[in-house]
A and B are shown apart, each in its own frame.
Chain A
Amino acid sequence: MKPKVAFFSFTSCEGCQLMFLNLEDELLNLLGAVEIVKFREAMKEVTSDEYDVAFIEGSITTHSDIERIKSIREKTKILVAFGACATIGGINAIKNFQPLEDVRKYVYGERWDFYDTVPTMQVDQVVKVDAAIHGCPVSKKEMLEVITSLLLGKTPNIPDYPVCVECKLAENVCVFDKGMMCLGPVTRAGCGALCPSYGNKCIGCRGLITDPNTNAQKDLLEEKGLSVAEVLKEFRMFDGLSEVSK
């Protein structure tokens, strides 16, 4: 029997689900190998309420999100955090650094208390996560690697080295040498250093590598001219939930 796969989205831009649909060349093959039982963004039908694999996009940011993710976990064998919002909180965690009441008042004015919100959490802060696909958005290559590995029952090969490696392999001039800031040295690779390859800096969307030397990275950014507050802001764009942003 084909494995039952479901997609769920929480607080996010739904861009990672779009990245799944963007697997134009592989999509029809994939649909032959799995049974997609729930994918609200693309499907009306729900053919099963139990899932072999559930892809969870988005952060947990409301009380109802917490209840919903717990209930999905109960029905799911392998739960995959899908994209930066789910794996590391992503940009949703920016709001955590302001008093939530201020945030709600600023955006919704006098009706602020109608808008439920809790500090942004990544999925594994609420339920057990079995696998993670990093990135904002996820990369097609890694998404396929994880999906095929799950189908084959093998451990996916997810990089745990920094973006610098792929950036050098892409033969880019170092972003620091161009006078820009970069989080590449402490950020998990797997994106092919796409941002530096297109002339931009690494913004840390894939989260930190295991055992990053964040102190050295902070020193480096300061040495390049950022204030301590600005250095923190760099990390807090995507990695707001990590130790380094505290």
Chain B
Amino acid sequence: MIDQPPGATNVIETFQAAKRYGRTWALRDCTLTIPHGRVTALVGPNGAGKSTLLHMAVGLALPTAGRIRVLGSLLPGSDEALARIAFVAQDTPLYPNLSVADTLRFVANLSPRWDEHRARTRIAELGIPLARKIGNLSGGQHAQVALAVALARHPDLLVLDEPMARLDPLARHDFMAVLMAAAAEDGLSIVLSSHVVAELERVCDYLVVLAKGHVQVVGDVEQVLATHRVLVGATRDLDALPPSVSVVAEQRADRQTRLLVRADRQSPVPIGWQSEPTNLEELVLSYLRSPQATTLPGPSGDAIRVSA
């Protein structure tokens, strides 16, 4: 998991990838790397390009321009990539008229690395009869069956598009618990998209923020959090801030202002301002409110490109 095996590679690597549907660019100039062995959150508002990026990674969509590679140097959609990547699409679609047993048989036929024992054990743990029709399962059971099927394919990379959007809190917790246990046991890499940021904080250790087809933030969650602070101070002092303060977003009230800035614990705090740590939700929301701001790894690895 945290120790990468020798020769470990990036699970997704894009270079200036772009996707156009008709006249609309769903994704533009997307350059990012997602390392092996991480649980990556892909966040952004609806229409940000999350599904487009995921569809390109699993071979369901071709980039209009640029390049995308998976699991090292594999072309998405190639036989090897298909065998080693499992994809759970939005709303976890399964055929409603198939029974659970038929669903397993169906996917097994398409999966060279299928683990029948694992699939059956998991379904038994869930207490779902194999003869039951998919269409008669509850929302939580449906999502759990989709996850069990995906994990039984024994993937190196599991991609999930908004997997929990329709689940109630208990079903979300159970879904995440199974997902995290799989990450702990198999060391598989996980990339999941969501527009609910709060539930990702405990789960993800790598972050990609997309807004309006652009990449805003890419990086290790801890590192991203450690290089941002919140400054709280009086609104009237705003104009006196030294230009060296790199502001991502501001929340201005009549008297008090909160700024998300690029800084760490050691950075000097402007006189009259209070410096506080931030959290994932605040950070992501701040970036989404300022779609022009980006924090991307530069050529040196951790240098920051500022555009505001």
A and B: bona fide binding partners: no
- Chain B residues close to A by CB (< 8 Å): none
